[in-house]
Amino acid sequence: MHLKVICCKLYISESQNAAVVDAISRIGQKDPEVGLLSKFEDEYYNRVRYTLVSYITSESSTGEAVFSPIRKVLLAMIEAAFSAINLEVHCGTHPRIGVVDDMSFHPLSQAATMEDAAQLAKLVASDIGNGLQVPVFLYAAAHPTSKSVSAVRRELGYYRPNHNGIQWTGQVLPDTLPVKPDVGPAHVSSKRGATMVGAKPFVESYNVPIFCKDVPTVRRITRRVTGRSGGFPTVQALALFHGDNCTEIACLLDPDHVGADQVQWLVEQIAEEQGLEVDKGYFTDLSKDMMLERYFEMVSAAD
């Protein structure tokens, strides 16, 4: 109950090269104190998410993060990604600004705090920005003014596809960034791109497929699902092309405020108005409770 448990979701721009994805997975499984609890790959997005969980210790007098074994594991996975993946030849239907596109840190156990997650996020950001010389943009609790990830992304043109209106191909950022990164150089490598690192409350990922290849139509449905157009205030969502006759609404849900069944129902209602068929949605990761259960099972087995 007193163990501070932290989760990191690491998003890497690759899923079509199985050898690379598996090699990075093996690095994430080397330390017995770090649990690689899940991995989600999507061929169309050409993107993989690794979910890692471990403990964090902090200085009792200052509360500042001191150590977490997850930091070293993440750095090894990131170095492997930069060595094996070239953003210049990457193409997918999910937006991204770099090989290591995003890293989000979340407190899992009751003892862990948002400040713990933010401190760890900033340490890892320094490893990437100052150590590997890749520009890093901080967001949410890791940012000095708690700037949202959406605000960071809008400043960088993250949501604007650069190929056929539905795909992100090659480097999407200019060589010299229009916005000063929080950590690391202002110059961007075309092979590595830039990275976003943040700390925020735990969210669940839920994707709803709509049998429609007209992405703008599904974008209009997506806007009505989110708080920006009268939907659920805590839901963030993107409409992303997902095959010859499918566009997905990829959602991030705050499980304390809205459930996947509510989102599914609303999407179906709006889509029906457009004469569109909706498939059953699916979660792309474990719930918070399941992560804690599996992590403590791992710890108990090691003992």
Residues of the chain with CATH 3.30.70.670: 204-283
Residues 27, 243: Cα–Cα separation, whole Å: 31
CATH 3.30.990.10 in the chain is located at 4-201
Supply the pLDDT for residue 61.
62
Q: Which of 240, 237, 211, 206 is nearest to 224 (CA)?
A: 237
Name 195's bridge partners: 136
Give per-10-residue mean pLDDT for the chain (303 aa): 91 97 98 97 97 90 78 98 98 97 97 95 98 98 97 95 94 92 96 98 97 96 89 94 95 94 97 97 97 94 81
List the beta bridge partners of residue 209: 248
The architecture of the domain spanning 204-283 is 2-Layer Sandwich (3.30)
User: How many whole angstroms separate alpha carbon 233 and alpha carbon 257?
Assistant: 9
- CATH number belonging to domain 4-201: 3.30.990.10
CA distance 25 to 20: 9
Residues 118-141: tens digit of each pLDDT: 999 999 999 999 999 999 999 999
Q: Identify the active-site residue in 94, 106, 143, 242.
A: 94
pLDDT at position 29 is 96
Kindly write down the DSSP assignment for every residue of 158-193, as one continuous string: TT--SBTTTBEES--S-SB-SS--SBS-SB--TTTB
The predicted structure's pLDDT at residue 42: 97
Residue type, position 71, single letter: R
Does 187 qualify as catalytic in the annotation?
Answer: no
What's the pTM? Answer: 0.96
